Amino acid sequence: MISNVEKLYNLIANDSKQKQSLFLMALTNPKLALEKICEIGRELDIQVTKEEVVEYLESVDDEETKLWLIKARGGL
């Protein structure tokens, strides 16, 4: 079964404009990026918490996600 976080991650990952916007936001303000991810989830009726997002991102095994986490980790 796919979790809400995974559904939301896949939707964002497939939207290059939104993905790039979140990545740039995470570079300067990772907490705001997490809030924006949760906001996108609410808009799409896919409820997630910041903690669920962080936990899921830590479990994903792809280079782009790892890069995002490395850049964002300082503010998380």
- The model's pLDDT over 39-52, given as tens digits with 9 standing for 90+, comes to 999 999 999 999 99
Q: What is the pLDDT of residue 6?
A: 93
Task: Say if 22 falls within a structural domain.
Answer: yes
pTM: 0.81
Q: pLDDT at residue 26 above 90?
A: no
Of the candidates 32, 36, 3, 30, the residue with the CA atom closest to the CA atom of residue 18: 36
Residue range of the domain that includes 35: 4-8+18-75
Task: Say if 13 falls within a structural domain.
Answer: no
Structural domain count, the chain: 1
- Measured distance CA(28)–CA(55) in Å, rounded: 21
Share the mean pLDDT of the chain.
85
Residue-wise burial string across 50-67, b where 16 or more C-beta atoms lie within 10 A, e elsewhere: eebbbebbeeeeeeebee
Mean pLDDT of 29-44: 93
Q: pLDDT at residue 73 above 90?
A: no
